[in-house]
């Protein structure tokens, strides 16, 4: 079964989701921007930096959970009152840190060896965090699922979407970070749309 994914359609759907909840997504993005500013401006204050990094990791979990809810059509969870639903418990927090460290270390090794292996690893493992938040499996299962989803010609679709994600974030950053209030949510929703499409495709293949 051939995998079909329209980046244009996914971007359009992401935009429609954003304009339906602009204050919510803009607010989440604003918090993320504050974390980034604190990280860059207080990098000599180690205790504060550690606190900010921990908060940023927690917020990344929230972003993934929110993005999954949006893509799955759970619009009743896209408001500040439902924010607690997206917050990780201690186990989930530790697991997302572990996955991030493993992916980061793997990609770093790939870039040290040669640039191409680093790009390959970051693309194959692009959905590890999303897979964990979605499936609540083990660290190994989340990494394996992402690796299994991104194979064959699908690799290039994922690679292209990741490039678009980077471009969106750069465009948002060059507008004094204000543009990130729009481009960051769009980037997150686009990647999550691709993950869900691949997840559905994988389940269909498994039934054949």
Instruction: Kindly report, residue by residue over 124-142, the tens digit of the pLDDT.
Output: 999 999 999 999 999 999 9
Q: What is the CA radius of gyration of the chain?
A: 17
pLDDT of 45 > 70? The answer is no
| Residue-level pLDDT at 176 | 67
Angle between helices 90-113 and 139-149 (to 10 degrees): 50
Query: pTM for this structure?
Result: 0.92
Residue 118: its pLDDT value, please?
87
Residues 60 and 96 sit within 8 Å (Cβ to Cβ): yes
Q: What's the half-sphere exposure (Cβ side, CA atoms, 13 Å) at 23? A: 3
Say what percent of the chain tops pLDDT 90: 69
Half-sphere exposure of 122 (CA within 13 A, CB side): 19
Contact 133, 98 (CB under 8 A): no
For residues 40, 38, 168, 115, the Cα torsion angle rounded to the nearest 10 degrees is 40
* CA separation for the pair 75, 21 (Å, rounded): 9
SS (H, E, C) the chain: CCCCCCHHHHHHHHHHHHHHCHHHHHHHHHHHHHHHHHHHHCCCCHHHHHHHHHHHHHHHHHHHHHHHHHHCCCHHHCCHHHHHHHCCCHHHHHHHHHHHHHHHHHHHHHHHHCHHHHHHHHHHCCCHHHHHHHHCCCHHHHHHHHHHHCCCCHHHHHHHHHHHHHHHHHHHHCCCCCCHHHHHHHHHHHHHHHHHHHHHHHHHHHHC
68 vs 51, more confident = 68
Q: Give mean pLDDT, residues 161-179.
A: 88
Q: How far apart are CA 36 and CA 32, in angstroms?
A: 6
């Amino acid at each position: 079964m051939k995998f079909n994914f329209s980046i244009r359609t996914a971007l359009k759907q992401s935009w429609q989701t954003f304009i339906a909840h602009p204050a919510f997504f803009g607010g989440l993005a604003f918090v993320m921007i504050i974390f980034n500013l604190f990280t860059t401006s207080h990098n000599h204050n180690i205790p504060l930096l550690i606190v900010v990094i921990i908060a940023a990791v927690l917020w990344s979990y929230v972003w993934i959970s929110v993005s999954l809810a949006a893509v799955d059509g759970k619009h009743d969870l896209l408001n500040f009152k439902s924010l607690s639903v997206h917050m990780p418990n201690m186990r989930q927090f530790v697991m997302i840190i572990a996955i991030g460290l493993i992916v980061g270390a793997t990609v770093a090794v790939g870039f040290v060896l040669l640039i191409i292996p680093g790009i390959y690893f970051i693309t194959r493992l692009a959905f590890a965090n999303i897979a964990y938040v979605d499936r609540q499996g083990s660290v190994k299962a989340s990494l394996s699922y992402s690796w299994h989803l991104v194979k064959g010609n699908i690799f290039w679709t994922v690679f292209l979407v990741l490039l678009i994600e980077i471009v969106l974030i750069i465009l948002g950053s060059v507008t004094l970070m204000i543009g990130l209030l729009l481009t960051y949510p769009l980037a997150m929703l686009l990647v999550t749309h691709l993950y869900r499409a691949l997840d559905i495709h994988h389940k269909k293949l498994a039934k054949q």
